[in-house]
Amino acid sequence: MQRKLWLSLALVGLLLFLGIGSQPATAQNEKSYSADQFDVDVAVQPDGSIIVNERIDFRFVGGPFTFVFRELPTDLTDGIVNISAAVDGDAYPAGTGPGQVEITGQNPIRITWHLPPTSDAVHRFILSYQVLGVVRQETDADRLLWQLLPDRYDYQIGRSLSRITYPETTQLVSPPLLVAGSGDLVQRTNNVLLTSEGLAPNSPLIVDLRFTPGSLISAPPAWQAAEQARQAAQQERDRFAPLWLLLGGLLLASGLVAFAAYWQRARPGTSPFPSPVYDPPSNLAPALAGTLVSTTASPTWNQALGTLFDLSQRGVLIIEELSKEKWYASRDFVVKLVEVPAGLLPHEEGLLDLLYETKKGRVQSIRLSKLSGQVTSGQWKRFEEPLKAEIKAAGYLSPARKATRQRLIGLGIAGFMLSIVGLVAIALLQSFLSLAAMAVPLALAVLGMVILIAGGAYPVKTDEALQLAGHWQAFFDHLKALTKGKTKPTRPDLFELYLPYAAAAGLLHAWAKRFEKAGVTAVPGWFHPLADGGSSHMAVFVAMTAATSSSGGSAAGAAGAAGAGAAGGGASGAG
């Protein structure tokens, strides 16, 4: 008996040892990294080139990490030379071993820092290079269009400070522009300073500087001259341009006339609507009213906001201001679920599921700063589908008109597809055809666009629904007039009373700003600002409306910003 007891204890001890021993191994495999700082110094040279110095402070958590890379595209430049790399001030020699840097490729050029196994550390990575022929020649300026940060990177950047200096022999002919990204852009003597904070992955920064013409370059760079030569060769092939333009014009004109005749027969009649309407014309929920007035009867984030504030007024939700975790951080708010009463409409239940159902189960609160990660295209259906079902169940939609709308959209898409086929054919035969030949597929594209727009605008609602939508639109127009100060409030409690409808109409932030300007100081009882926040409660409420208006479903805003025609960019990462 005693022997069995000892054997049991030994087995338990072995299992505990294996369980405890496995924990560090798992934790060791978990790793992440971010950039505390990503600074860029750009020095514009008198010959139209630029010298770039990048400094990235990478924070490695877990590990080990064995490399960091940076890719430099050479598009819209005459090449990149004089590349050097360092870590923590120590220059790395060429090679593929730890403590060395590897430079490969032509477009993009890839720089790879090879590291000794690195865990739980912060290191500064320095990259210097010269970009030739990056300043382009335009009729009214020598122009620098440069992308400071990479196109593609999967890490957070805490802060970025970029400085562009230029020779004293030139000056800017117009204020510097930030054409992609966000930050504070300040012009100083012979330099421009850009400060950005809290950059999400894949957030490029593109600056546009226009200098006195001829002050940096007297001739276009090689890449631009080659492009101009290609354009001149194309002009030589344009002898038949008038014929192609005539053919495209005839196709477009005849197509528009034929479609106009069809549209006169197919479109529903319209009825005059009363204007203005000072009170809600029916008891529709804000999201239903906002969706009803849209042409496609499809909800947007504005309707979700209308529902959120309507539920708050009914005691289902409260919104609280959070204390700043860091002094430089923006204001943040949390939306808390107080209770779920019986009798909620399906789309209201759907919004609660959208906000509070996570992979880990039901939560009771969500930060506004985290909202865009929760309101994804897949999760959006939780709110969208029940709202559409309510619209359909109310008899507001006409199946026959919906079918007509789909036919028009299909015809418009077909026009676009034919135009694409034509453009591809012209591209393949560009050595023989004038660019003016594109008039034919472009005419098809315009026809397709007109038909597609008409299809998108074709009402799918019944005549009764159109009449009701007209009344609601007149009411929303009245709310818009109030936000612009064109009319005066008809009752003292108007701000909170119509707040959900203003949100559903896309007027949320303007509505709050208007009443703040009018001297309203009281905020709704369901909104709880910090007692010692340093700002008036109404000012905090206005800040909250700005945050909610831009939070949901807006994460794709910056995608494709690198397509703005700027040089620079590329990719960056570690592993």
Alpha carbons 25 and 31: distance in angstroms, whole number: 12
Please, which residues bridge with residue 103 across strands? Answer: 111
Phi, psi of 116 (to 5 degrees): -65, 155
Q: Cα–Cα–Cα angle for 94, 97, 100, nearest 5°?
A: 35
- Separation CA 305–CA 308 (nearest Å): 5
3-state secondary structure of 19: helix
Nearest Cα to Cα of residue 202 among 147, 142, 121: 147
Q: How many CB atoms lie under 10 A from the CB of residue 267?
A: 14
Q: Write out the two tokens for 243.
A: 């014929």
Residue 169 is which amino acid?
T
Q: What is the pLDDT of residue 274?
A: 60
pLDDT score of 564: 45
pLDDT value at residue 270: 61
- Asked if 80 and 159 touch (Cβ cutoff 8 Å), the reply is no
Looking at residue 94, what is its pLDDT?
Answer: 92
- Tell me the C-alpha to C-alpha distance, in Å, between residue 43 and each of 48, 54, 108, 168, 184: 10, 12, 22, 12, 19
Query: CA 105 to CA 570: how far, in whole Å?
Result: 13
Which residue type does 415 have? G
Residues 86-137 pLDDT 10s: 999 899 999 999 999 999 999 899 999 999 999 999 999 999 999 999 999 9
Residue-level pLDDT at 51: 96
Q: What is the secondary structure of 311-347 as a DSSP string?
A: HHHTTSEEEEEPPPSSTTSPP-EEEEE----TT--HH
Residue partners of 260: CB distance under 8 A and separation at least 6: none
Whole-structure pTM value: 0.49
How far the first Cα of the chain sits from its last, in Å, is 55
DSSP 524: P
Q: How far apart are CA 117 and CA 337, in angstroms?
A: 46
In whole angstroms, what is the distance from residue 415 CA to residue 401 CA?
Answer: 21
What Cα–Cα distance (Å) separates residue 479 from each residue in 40, 434, 484? 46, 53, 9
At residue 5, the pLDDT reads 45
pLDDT attached to residue 1: 46
Omega before 276 within 30 of 0, i.e. cis:
yes
567-568 and 80-87 as β-strands: parallel, antiparallel, unpaired? unpaired
For residue 289, is it left (φ>0), alpha (ψ between -120 and 50) or beta?
A: alpha
CB atoms within 10 A of CB 258: 11
Which residues are 527's β-sheet partners? 319
Closest CA to 51 of 61, 40, 65, 36: 40
- Contact of 87 with 22, CB cutoff 8 Å: no
pLDDT in the model for residue 531: 75
Please answer whether residues 162 and 205 qualify as being in contact, where contact means their C-beta atoms are separated by less than 8 angstroms: yes
The parts of the chain modelled with pLDDT lower than 50 are: 1-7, 9, 12, 14-28, 553-564
Angle, in degrees to the nearest 10, between helices 377-393 and 286-293: 90
Nearest 10 degrees: Cα torsion 163, 165, 170, 172: 0
CB 435 within 8 A of CB 230: no
Query: Which DSSP letter does residue 203 get?
Result: -
